[in-house]
Structures are given as structure tokens and as C-alpha cells.
């Protein structure tokens, strides 16, 4: 070792695949959420609530896992 | 992505966003309480709570109801009547002229069984109406509304161009990357990207349906001239009838013509909703979808005969579907709360975008920043 402090790699390895994979899934789920409650009550409402709670949850998850370095 | 392409998309994103951001902030802020208009109305008494009527109660005759309303506003003419699906109340909009626009309407709320007037503030007064006007037309009528619609379309272009730029930015980053420990600018940029891409689908639909809703008036006019034009020959040269046939009979006729549906509201002749010669009885079903896709029944306002049950043209269906998708009022209170949260996240996207513009430097610097992001590990 040459005495220099070892710094951790500053980014995680780049994820494989397109940066649009996750956004495409999110957009598709958003459409399901938007349409579902229109089609009926009860379980159709529930699907919409779950989808949109998921979207808010992803934002919260990104904030909790934020990289403070 | 090539430098020239990045630059072009960057310029599109910058300018479409800049022009619409201040209006979008206004829309998001005024829209927030409007999501809960129904709940707020019940809390403030604007939407009074009326005890449910017994199931076998006989409803008061509609023509008598209209007379009661006109006694409250002598000299006015009836414009619209409509029913609350959740309470035994109905409203009667009146005004000095058949084509009185909503801001000048005078409304009476009546018990559907007893005919007693239910004390309630006018819908076109008060804080919520003020917010509604700010949200829809900034008090400028149709031009204001169309202007807000144009801002909505710019918002859609800003979202699409933002998504295109998201690609090169995130090529070397994991989804959800939020780096808060380096420059403040990078933190805001990551936040803008994460929140922007998560709310993208919702914001696109709410933005686009909002823009469509601003076309309500022209679309309704187009529908009338197209649909009612079919009967024009029959009524050619006839003035608008002054002595109208019975409203109760018109509603009974419409009910018989559309079994299984209930009337949502009725337009009087000359109001701009059913031509000069007809009652428009707008029937609704009881699912979230059929509740909003009104089926009009046109009843001759002179002799009370059934004229037609026109099919709504495609553009009217699009308009009627755009309303719930914009308001978020079709999945009970939890959907409204989520609508509000997504609205707040959209505000965060707008504010972070504004911050990035204030701290922008030159376009060349920004384009170089995006170029670096797609080739290096560290932006």
C-alpha cells in the first residue's frame, strides 16, 4: 500500500440496460393506476391507490437511499 | 446522443419550461385545494348536509321547484337544474337571460322532496370560486382559458423533452440516484430527474387532460351545431319558444327513453347546451365511467315530444373523460390525497427546475455537462 487513503469508488457500477427501463415500467403502472379507478369501484379503486402510493414511495425511497458523499 | 441533438432538446426543454413554469406553479397551488372542493364545501357549509329522504318519499314536481327558484330571483329565467347524487337536493341555476354565463348565475338549492329552500352560498362567490377562476381562466373568460390550455401543452412538451434529456444524464447512473453530498447544483439536478421521471406519466395525463378541458366551451358549441344542425330544418325560422312545456314531463320522457339511467342535469333552451328549442336531459349511469359519460336526451321544449337521443361524438367523449382524469375525483378520498401528493411532487419538480435555471451558466456549459454525464461515471 502506498499510504494514500483508499477511496471507495464514487459510483456504483453502471446498471446494465437502458436508463429508460425503470421509467417505462413506472409510466406503464401509472397508466394502470389512472385507468383502474375509472373502470369500477372497490378493487379497481384499490389498484389505483396502490399504484400511486408506489410512485410516492419511490420518491421517498430515493431520498432515504440518497448518496451524501 | 450527439452534441447537436442534446443542445436542441436542451433548448426546447429550457424554453418550454421557462414560459410555462410560473403558470404551472399557479395551477399546482390553486389546484391543491380544488382537489378537495367537495370535502371543503361540506366543512364550510357551502355544500350543506341534508338528511337523506325516506326511500319511498315522493319527489316534488319539478315545475313547482323551478317556480320556487324563480320566486327567489324575480325576473330571472331558469337555465339549468341538476341533482346531487348523494343527497336529496337539487339546484336551479337562474339568470336574467337564457345565455347568462356562470359568473352571473343566481342559484337556488332545494330539497327534492319538500321543496324547501336549502340555505347555501352561491357557487360563484367565495374563496373556492376565486381559486377556481384563477385555476381555469385567470378571470379572463375564454381567452384566459385557452391561454392556460396553451401553458398545459407547453408543459407536455417540457415533460417530453425532459424525458429525452434524462437518457444521457442517467446513462451511467442507477435509477433513483440522488447525490446530495457534492455540489448543491448536482443535488437539485438529481432531485429534478428522480421526481420528474417518477411523476412523468401522471403529470402528462393531468397536463394534457387539463389542456383538453380548456376546450370545453368550443367543443360543446361544435357538438351543438353539428348535432342540432340535423334538426335545424324542422325548426327553421322559429323563434326560441317563450312558453315552455313541462320540465317534469320532459324528465319523465327522458327517463322512459333511457331506462336504468338517472338524470344528472337538464339544460333549458337557449343556454348553449341544447340549442334553442330543446330541453337537454343529460342522463348518467352509476359506474365511475357511465356516471361521467352523459347520455343526452333532447326533448322538444314546445310540445314535450322526444326529439332524439344523439350519440356523443368522439371529441365529447374525450372531453368528458378528461374531466375525472384531471380532477382525480373518481377514486374516493385516498385517490384525492394521492393526487395532492403528486401535485406537491410536481411543484418540487418545477421549483428544482427553476433553481437549475437560476444557477445555469451558459447553454454550452449545460450541454457539456450532459455530454460528460453520458460518457463518464461522475457528472
Q: What digits encode the pLDDT tens for the residues B280-290?
A: 999 999 899 99
Between chains, do A26 and B170 touch, taking CB under 8 Å as contact?
no
Between chains, do B176 and A19 touch, taking CB under 8 Å as contact?
no
Q: Does B325 touch chain A (CB under 8 A)?
A: yes
- pLDDT, residue A3, reads 46
The C-alpha atoms of residue B26 and residue B244 are separated, in whole angstroms, by: 44
Instruction: Kindly report, residue by residue over B26-72, the tens digit of the pLDDT.
Output: 999 999 999 999 999 999 888 888 988 888 899 999 999 999 999 99
Between chains, do B173 and A61 touch, taking CB under 8 Å as contact?
no
The C-alpha atoms of residue B91 and residue B112 are separated, in whole angstroms, by: 9
Between chains, do B173 and A69 touch, taking CB under 8 Å as contact?
no
Q: What is the full DSSP assignment across B197-263?
A: HHHHHHHHHHHHHHHHHTTHHHHHHHHHHHHHHTTHHHHTTPPPPSSPPPHHHHHHHHHHHSTT-EE
Closest residue in chain A to residue B324, using alpha carbons only:
A38
Instruction: Kindly report, residue by residue over A7-66, the tens digit of the pLDDT.
Output: 554 444 445 689 999 999 999 999 999 999 999 999 999 999 999 999 999 999 999 999
Whether B22 shows a pLDDT value over 50: the answer reads: yes
Q: Does A26 touch chain B (CB under 8 A)?
A: yes
Size of interface A-B (CB pairs under 8 A): 125
Between chains, do B163 and A65 touch, taking CB under 8 Å as contact?
no
- pLDDT, residue B275, reads 87
Q: Does A66 touch chain B (CB under 8 A)?
A: yes
Q: pLDDT-derived band of residue B377, with 50, 70 and 90 as boundaries?
A: low
Selected residues 6-25 of chain A with any CB under 8 Å from a CB in chain B: 10-12, 14-15, 18-23
From B1's Cα to the closest Cα of chain A, the distance in A is 13
Which residues of A are less than 8 Å from B163 in CB distance? 23
Between chains, do B198 and A58 touch, taking CB under 8 Å as contact?
yes
From B180's Cα to the closest Cα of chain A, the distance in A is 5
Between chains, do A39 and B332 touch, taking CB under 8 Å as contact?
no
Q: What is the full DSSP assignment across B256-288?
A: HHSTT-EEEEEEPTTSSSSTTTEEEEEEE-SST
Selected residues 163-222 of chain B with any CB under 8 Å from a CB in chain A: 163, 166-167, 169-182, 194-195, 197-202, 205
Q: Does B376 touch chain A (CB under 8 A)?
A: no
Closest residue in chain A to residue B204, using alpha carbons only:
A27
Q: Does A53 touch chain B (CB under 8 A)?
A: yes
CB contact set of B183 (below 8 Å; sequence gap of 6+)? none
- State how far the alpha carbon of B378 is from the alpha carbons of A22, B63, B371, in Å: 21, 74, 11
Which residues of B are less than 8 Å from A44 in CB distance? 288
Closest residue in chain A to residue B291, using alpha carbons only:
A38
Instruction: Kindly report, residue by residue over B189-246, the tens digit of the pLDDT.
Output: 999 999 999 999 999 999 999 999 999 999 988 988 888 777 767 788 888 888 999 9
Which residues of B are less than 8 Å from A40 in CB distance? 287-288
DSSP class of residue B60?
P
| Average pLDDT of the residues in B149-177 | 95
Distance, CA of B49 to chain centre: 24
Q: pLDDT-derived band of residue B104, with 50, 70 and 90 as boundaries?
A: very high
**Where do runs of H (alpha helix) occur along B306-362?**
314-327, 332-358
From A19's Cα to the closest Cα of chain B, the distance in A is 5
- pLDDT, residue A16, reads 61
Instruction: Kindly report, residue by residue over B51-64, the tens digit of the pLDDT.
Output: 888 888 999 999 99
Amino acid at each position: 500500500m502506498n499510504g494514500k487513503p483508499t477511496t471507495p469508488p464514487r459510483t456504483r457500477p453502471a446498471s446494465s440496460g437502458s436508463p429508460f427501463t425503470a421509467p417505462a415500467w413506472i409510466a406503464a403502472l401509472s397508466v394502470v393506476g389512472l385507468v383502474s379507478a375509472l373502470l369500477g369501484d372497490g378493487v379497481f379503486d384499490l389498484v389505483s391507490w396502490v399504484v400511486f402510493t408506489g410512485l410516492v414511495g419511490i420518491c421517498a425511497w430515493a431520498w432515504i437511499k440518497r448518496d451524501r458523499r | 446522443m450527439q452534441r447537436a441533438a442534446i443542445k436542441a432538446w436542451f433548448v426546447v426543454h429550457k424554453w418550454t419550461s421557462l414560459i410555462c413554469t410560473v403558470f404551472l406553479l399557479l395551477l399546482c397551488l390553486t389546484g391543491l385545494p380544488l382537489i378537495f372542493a367537495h370535502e371543503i364545501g361540506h366543512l364550510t357549509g357551502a355544500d350543506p348536509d341534508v338528511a337523506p329522504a325516506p326511500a319511498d318519499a315522493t319527489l316534488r314536481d319539478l315545475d313547482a321547484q323551478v317556480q320556487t327558484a324563480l320566486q327567489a330571483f324575480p325576473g330571472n329565467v331558469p337555465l339549468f337544474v341538476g341533482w346531487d347524487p348523494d343527497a336529496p337536493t337539487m339546484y336551479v341555476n337562474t339568470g336574467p337571460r337564457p345565455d347568462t354565463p356562470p359568473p352571473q348565475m343566481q342559484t337556488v338549492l332545494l330539497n327534492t322532496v319538500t321543496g324547501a329552500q336549502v340555505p347555501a352560498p352561491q357557487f360563484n362567490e367565495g374563496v373556492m370560486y376565486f381559486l377556481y377562476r384563477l385555476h381555469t381562466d385567470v378571470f379572463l373568460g375564454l381567452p384566459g382559458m385557452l391561454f392556460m390550455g396553451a401553458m398545459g401543452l407547453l408543459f407536455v412538451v417540457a415533460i417530453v423533452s425532459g424525458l429525452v434529456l434524462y437518457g444521457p444524464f442517467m446513462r451511467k447512473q442507477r435509477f433513483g440516484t440522488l447525490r446530495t453530498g457534492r455540489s448543491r447544483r448536482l443535488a437539485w439536478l438529481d432531485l429534478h430527474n428522480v421526481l420528474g421521471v417518477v411523476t412523468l406519466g401522471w403529470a402528462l395525463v393531468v397536463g394534457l387532460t387539463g389542456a383538453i378541458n380548456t376546450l370545453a366551451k368550443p367543443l360543446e358549441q361544435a357538438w351543438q351545431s353539428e348535432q342540432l344542425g340535423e334538426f335545424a330544418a324542422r325548426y327553421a325560422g322559429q323563434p326560441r319558444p317563450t312558453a315552455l312545456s313541462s320540465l317534469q314531463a320532459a324528465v319523465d320522457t327522458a327517463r322512459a327513453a333511457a331506462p336504468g339511467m338517472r338524470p344528472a342535469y337538464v339544460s333549458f333552451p337557449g343556454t348553449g347546451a341544447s340549442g334553442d328549442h330543446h330541453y337537454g336531459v343529460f342522463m348518467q349511469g352509476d359506474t365511475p365511467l357511465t356516471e361521467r359519460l352523459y347520455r343526452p336526451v333532447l326533448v322538444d321544449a314546445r310540445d314535450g315530444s322526444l326529439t332524439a337521443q344523439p350519440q356523443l361524438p368522439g371529441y365529447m367523449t374525450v372531453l368528458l373523460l378528461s374531466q375525472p382524469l384531471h380532477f382525480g375525483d373518481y377514486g374516493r378520498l385516498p385517490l384525492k390525497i394521492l393526487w395532492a401528493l403528486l401535485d406537491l411532487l410536481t411543484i418540487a419538480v418545477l421549483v428544482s427546475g427553476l433553481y437549475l435555471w437560476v444557477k445555469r451558466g451558459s447553454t454550452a456549459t449545460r450541454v457539456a455537462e450532459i455530454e460528460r454525464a453520458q460518457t463518464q461515471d461522475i457528472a
